[in-house]
Chains A and B, each alone.
Chain A
Amino acid sequence: MSFWEYANPKKFMETSSWLLPWVAIGSLLCLVVGLIWGFFFTPDDFRQGSTVKIIYLHVPSALMAINAWLMMLVCSLIWIVRRHHVSALAARAAAPIGVTMTLIALATGALWGQPMWGTYWAWDPRLTSFLILFLFYLGYIALWEAIENSDTAADLTSVLCLVGSVFALLSRYAVNFWNQGLHQGASLSLDKEENVADVFYFPLLVCIAGFVLLFVALVLIRTRTEIRARRISALRARQRLNDTSPSATPKEA
């Protein structure tokens, strides 16, 4: 029993079809429990008032926005090295979810920033790197959509993902450098992990689990869709081949 067995689309479809309901239910459960717990049953922060409740959406979505990219990077590497189609399709499936997570993180961050910092947007290193990450996602998806041949698209997007990761990392440090160069030490980002008390911490953990499971469930659904779409185009191509040259041996298809 090896992990690589799931590179077989058939095996992947079988396993994911029984895994999917559990993940989906788990994600729904965690999200509902975590968000209701966080929204209704946690106290207000003495400094931030009720806005601290945004943390239950902001932190998990930001976490998943980065993890989605990491997953795409790993899948791209697997595709380049071992050429498993499921891996390339999973990377494709993850990208729109990553965009959604980035959008949630940016939107909740902006709404949180308005009462706390007095502005929706500041060119703070963290915020800026998320905006750049968003642009990377857009470019990646646009390249997938633009190329018709799916193997070519998988190859090119994988290369883009690798190069993009290097540059995303570089941008992260460049942006740090740039902003400190602008306003000396006037950093707006508060270090959230350190001053989170237990009352906020446990519902936050539940929410993070919910977002992780949600991501897994969505990736499974979308990868299954991509595999089916691939099968459709394969069947269509075979049909066309049979229509145009009935004498051709079916084995070629």
Chain B
Amino acid sequence: MIALLRRDLALTLRSGGGFGLALAFFLILVVLIPFGVGPQSELLSRIAPGVLWVGALLACLLSLDRIFQLDFEDGSLDLLATSPLPLESLALLKALTHWLTTGLPLTVAAPFLGVFLSLPGEAVVWLVSSLALGTPALSLIGAFGAALTVGLKRGGLLISLLVLPLYVPTLIFGAECVRRGAEGLAASTPLLFVAGITAGCVAALPFATASALRVNLR
């Protein structure tokens, strides 16, 4: 399992797809927002939590179709499916790889990008913790969407359509947590909800992902 994780990480990093691309997209989105809505810092600090969360979510979306696609095309997914490793753990592993290459860097980068949007200082800790707890759920849901569309030639757009409605609860609770943090309110309730969603996704979604993969590999 560790070997597979290292292989996937190496492949993703070497192909230069996930890591840099997601971060660059996040950066560009955050930089573009002030041009769109104007430079007033009180307005920016009000929308900052939402913008940062939506930006992280969209950046996650970018690399979803690559989770299984490359392995599916060169046939290694078939090999992995017949290996002693259960498909469920493979699904979990793939989501973990995706999170390590997109969710984690986004979480680390978010506070610095928050400065551009004049995010209040007290919200930073909530931003980081909600992203750290919420982005794994995004990766897991994304892996499910990727498993559904893995056999399709133009799955990229379809993934977005399938996955975006599933992202709604995570986004609501995550952004709400940061917003409350920025306004100085108690923000731990939405944070717990985010953590709960992630825990539920870790527990249940690998099974759905694996069953979708099994159908697609049939």
Contact = CB atoms under 8 A, between A and B. Distances in A.
Chains A and B touch each other in the complex, with CB atoms below 8 Å apart: yes
Interface of A: 132, 135-136, 138-139, 142-143, 146-147, 152, 155-156, 159-160, 162-164, 166-168, 170-171, 173-175, 177-178, 181
A18 to B, nearest CB: 36
B37 interface: no
B158 A152 contact: no
B176 A142 contact: no
B215 A135 contact: no
Given A152-B151, A152-B216, A177-B190, A171 B165 contact: yes
Contacts of B218: 152
A143 B165 CA distance: 14
Contacts of B180: 181
A147 B151 contact: yes
B27 interface: no
A138 B158 CA distance: 10
Interface of B: 144, 148-149, 151-152, 155, 158, 161-162, 164-166, 168-169, 172-173, 176, 179-180, 190, 193, 197, 204-205, 208, 211-212, 215-216, 218
Contacts of B173: 174, 177-178
21 contacts: A135-B165, A143-B148, A147-B152, A152-B215, A152-B216, A156-B148, A159-B208, A159-B211, A160-B148, A160-B162, A162-B208, A163-B144, A163-B208, A167-B168, A167-B169, A170-B197, A174-B169, A174-B193, A177-B172, A181-B176, A181-B179
Nearest to B150: A156
Contacts of B208: 159, 162-163
Given A159-B148, A163-B208, A177-B176, A170 B215 contact: no
Contacts of B204: 166
A162 B161 CA distance: 16
A229 to B, nearest CB: 20
A140 to B, nearest CB: 8
Instruction: Give the 8 A-B CB pairs with smallest separation, nearest first.
Output: A174-B169, A135-B165, A155-B215, A174-B172, A139-B162, A170-B169, A178-B172, A171-B168
A167 B215 contact: no
A163 B166 contact: yes
A142 B162 contact: yes
Contact of A143 (B144, B158, B166): B158
B16 to A, nearest CB: 29
B215 A156 contact: yes
Given A159-B212, A159-B215, 6 more contacts: A135-B165, A152-B151, A156-B212, A171-B168, A177-B193, A181-B176
A148 B90 CA distance: 26
Nearest to B218: A152
